[in-house]
């Protein structure tokens, strides 16, 4: 599916450095490590938004353990962040929230929730890239 969501356009970015390590030196080896944003990239990219629920719906929480979303983030990231990329982790979070939780009590019994991530990443993002292989 495709549809416009407004009338603004993105002119792209000039080549610019990302957050560089303190010890960065401008060498050929470091240039190959991709520390720079290429000049043909959109301005609005490499952003990941993790919303706890879809627009217009309630985000549930347990009065002792906290929100279902944060509980799931902690559980999934604690177990899998050393090996998996962010999108895979958040898919597991979606699954855990959707299948492992259900409201209880009163007229709001058996209510469910699913997170609503927004992914504008252009590459896989690993928190521990040295262990991801």
Place of tokens 């944060």: 70
CA distance 4 to 24: 41
pLDDT digits (tens, 9 = 90+) for 44-64: 888 999 999 999 999 999 989
Which runs of consecutive H residues, i.e. helices, occur in the chain? 28-32, 68-80, 86-100
pLDDT digits (tens, 9 = 90+) for 81-131: 999 999 999 999 999 999 999 999 888 899 999 999 999 998 899 988 776
């Amino acid at each position: 599916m495709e549809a416009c969501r407004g009338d603004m356009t993105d002119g792209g970015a000039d080549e610019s450095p990302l957050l560089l390590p303190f010890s960065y030196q401008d060498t050929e080896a470091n240039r190959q490590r991709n520390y720079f944003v290429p000049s043909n990239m959109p301005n609005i990219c490499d952003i990941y938004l993790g919303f706890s629920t879809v627009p217009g719906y309630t985000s549930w929480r347990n009065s002792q353990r906290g929100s279902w979303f944060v509980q799931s983030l902690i559980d999934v990231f604690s177990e899998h962040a050393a090996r998996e990329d962010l999108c895979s982790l958040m898919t597991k979070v979606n699954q855990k929230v959707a299948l492992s939780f259900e409201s209880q009590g009163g007229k709001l019994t058996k209510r469910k929730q699913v997170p609503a991530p927004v992914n504008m990443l252009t590459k896989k993002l690993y928190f521990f890239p040295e262990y991801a292989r």
